[in-house]
Structure 1
């Protein structure tokens, strides 16, 4: 257990700050994230001059959209950041048909973090096999989800239709963000207005690019530090929930994984908490499988919060892509875990892979580089 506690320890700086100060800083960071989303959306719209469709013609192939989301998340190691940026880009004019595969790709890309964490056990063959098994369950689940739902989306537009229905239900009020009073806009408006006033001194396209860059910097910093603060405040509670949920059935595991991820604002953190527990033989990879699925659902909260900051004519589309993320992850759990003949595929495949990687450790590095970078980039070259 001691090594798992070490893996979960947050930044030392966070531990030294008094708890009230950490909560205050957390609220400031949430404000910064909401401001960043609005800046990116407005900047994207200004820079593209309402021609986002033409700008993203190269990604009209859904497989390219999938790869863009996957590689971006693997590089940043935060699906929360990428999904929030996608929400902002939709608000700025990115077609939702392109954004949906990007969201799916972000789910695969975020799996890289816990796979890298498993390399911490590489010195012990048995520990490494168990840890790599636990880490790659998430990978295989997300890959199967894409294999099932991307063709369905391309053929029937299922997620687009379902999310549009949810927007129609929930947009009867401030979430519409067009005619009614939007409290988030009221709070973030002054700072956005100040930044916009400064950037509008630049030529139009540079004005938009400047706002996008400022927004990207803000969103990466805010979500990164939100994760550190939430871990320092909640990781003990999160670990307790994890331990109490193990062995209590699938519903308990999925619910707990969702709740813990909402608490720590990072599915990567949630899944990475479990890898050392399995590596050290405290629990089995099979036992943490439902908890991993809950982490996929819990991470959707960031995109939903980001969507609430959007105002204007594309506010409904921004909320829609956030609902796409939520519907996709919930349906993936219902289908893959709900159907008995598919349920065991992710843990069985990850177990077989872990046995080979434990024997030839170089396969582990080859797997990470190949799955998350080489294959996607080769596909981009082939499809472009």
Structure 2
């Protein structure tokens, strides 16, 4: 049973990531160059950068992709480091659209989405291809979500896994560590949150523990941007460090408020998956809006902390 359950878990995680890739590929038809031009034209201030980062990330469903583009623009000296902060803040908000989407119950649409997605992919043209990727990718994501929920109970029936969940429910720092490490490995905070959704949906993980995992996922997702910044120059490295510090500050701010946040989202909806999705949205929205007025000060802080290191590298 042990091997079968974990094999299925790996399959569903892989299917979820595949669905995300297909979904993003459909949105990518607008072209990376167009995204670059749009970012350059509309990010002459921090608050504009926040709006642009939010909208574009919500559309293409990938904060990591936005971060890679931003790092490239900063490395090419087409975008200033300070203006990039606004885009990072917006990207953190925009990525929560995916978690809100997958929290809904769309099981009835899986077969139609698979069918129409396959049909659209047979037609020529960018629009048909984009629609095919969108519907087929969503179907894969929803299949994976159903699978993760169904696996939650048999997985928790394994004694040592059950004990592990009990410890995670009692110690939020462990949940944060799990979220960070898992996201750094699979390079998708959305997938990590989706896994947590499967477990809280079966009442194996408590909502506060799932929120802790979500907080850790926000730190773990910084790994992609850091890797992209290696060898990209001094300013680009500062962008990656800024992304890390923003999420670390946010997590430190919310650790004492996990219980309060849990109680608040429970008042908003009785759906446990939606509760976690709303928690992710509230966390990223509050952190980004709180940081926005302090971007110049934060920019100086990052420069002071990492200037010598980036020069030596």
Contact 1:117 1:275 in 2 (8 A): no
After superposition, the CA RMSD in angstroms is 4.3
1:68 counterpart = 2:52: yes
Q: Is contact 1:7-1:273 (8 Å) kept? A: no
Alignment partner, residue 97 of structure 1: 82
Instruction: Name the structure 2 match of 1:347.
Output: 262
1:282 match: secondary structure: coil
Q: With structure 1 as the length reference, what TM-score do the two structures score? A: 0.46
Partner of 2:62: 78
The equivalent of 1:261 in structure 2 is 183
Please say if residues 17 and 191 of structure 2, whose CA atoms lie closer than 8 Å, have aligned partners that are also in contact. Answer: no
- For 1:91 and 1:321, locate their aligned partners in 2 and report how far apart those are by CA, in whole Å: 10
Q: Which whole-Å deviations, capped at 9, do the CAs of 1:315-358 have from their partners, x for residues lacking one?
A: 10000001000000011111221xx3x44443233222214x89
2:209 is the alignment partner of 1:287: yes
Relative to structure 1, is the Cα distance of residues 72 and 98 closer, same or farther in structure 2, using a 3 angstrom cutoff?
Answer: same
For the 8 Å contact 2:53–2:91, the answer to whether it is kept is yes
1:110 aligns with 2:95: yes
Tell me which of 194, 198, 204 is aligned to 1:276: 198
How much does 1:11 deviate? 3.5
Equivalent-residue separation in structure 2 for 1:13 and 1:68 (angstroms): 25
Query: CA 1:273–1:75 in 2, change beyond 3 Å: closer, same or farther?
Result: same
Q: Distance in 2 between matches of 1:13 and 1:287?
A: 23
Which of 2, 12, 26 is matched with 1:8 structurally? 12
More helix by proportion, 1 or 2? 2
Aligned to 2:306: none
Alpha carbons 2:176, 2:215 under 8 Å: kept: yes
Shift of 1:10: 2.0
Task: Give the whole-Å Cα distance in 2 for the aligned partners of 1:244 and 1:348.
Answer: 20
* Superposition deviation, residue 5 in structure 1: 4.4
State the 1:273 CA deviation: 1.0
The TM-score, its normalising length taken from structure 2, stands at 0.56
Matched, 1:334 2:252: yes
Query: Which aligned pairs between 1:151-170 and structure 2 lie closer than 5 A?
Result: none
Match of 1:299 in 2: 221
**Structure 1 segments unaligned to the other structure (5+ residues):** 15-39, 124-223, 373-384
- 2-side partners of 1:7 and 1:279: how far apart? 19
Q: 1:13 and 1:346, CA in 2 relative to 1: closer, same or farther beyond 3 A?
A: closer
Partner Cα separation in structure 1 for residue 211 and residue 17 of structure 2 = 33
Q: Which has the higher contact order (CA 8 A, sep 6+)?
A: 1
Q: CA offsets, 1:105-151, max 9 Å, x none?
A: 1111111222211113789xxxxxxxxxxxxxxxxxxxxxxxxxxxx
User: Aligned pair in 2 of structure 1 residues 11, 290: CA closer, same or farther (>3 Å)?
Assistant: closer
Contact 1:245 1:253 in 2 (8 A): no
Aligned-partner Cα distance in 1 for 2:209–2:17: 33
Instruction: Work out which of the residue numbers 109, 116, 120 in structure 1 matches 2:105.
Output: 120
Change beyond 3 A, Cα 1:244–1:308: farther
Alignment partners' CA distance in 1, 2:201 and 2:174: 22
Aligned counterparts of 1:291 and 1:13: Cα–Cα separation in 2: 18
Question: What's 1:316 paired with?
Answer: 234
Residue 103 of structure 2 aligns to a residue in which SS? helix
